[in-house]
Amino acid sequence: VDAFDEAEFGLGPGDAVPDLSLDPDDGVLTLINASDAPRAYHVSVRDVSVVGRLGPLPSRVCGGRRCTTVSVAVGPRTTVLSPRGYAA
């Protein structure tokens, strides 16, 4: 968990801020709350293994594919990074 800083994302004042960012090189997912209020994020991924602090997260079959959903509360002007990214 880090304080949100527009400059870290190459953004200037007034630029639109994405809700999430996925680094294609290392698979790290960043949830971004640029607002002044807490927000909840619900992120679902398919056909990848998601690993949390305590190990692999449970998945289920949905539409014939393996799906994992995480729900994360993110404080105001805060970013949350996935610790290890994902693995195919």
pLDDT confidence of residue 60: 94
Give the span between the Cα atoms of 59 and 81, in whole angstroms.
Answer: 20
What's the pLDDT tens digit per position in 6-57? 888 788 888 888 898 888 888 788 899 999 999 999 999 899 888 877 888 9
Helix (H, G, I), strand (E, B) or coil at 72: strand
**R_g over Cα of the chain:** 14
Q: Does position 86 have pLDDT exceeding 60, yes or no?
A: no
pTM (predicted TM-score): 0.74
pLDDT tens-digit profile of 56-76? Answer: 899 999 999 999 998 999 999
- For residues 26 and 87, the model is more confident at 26
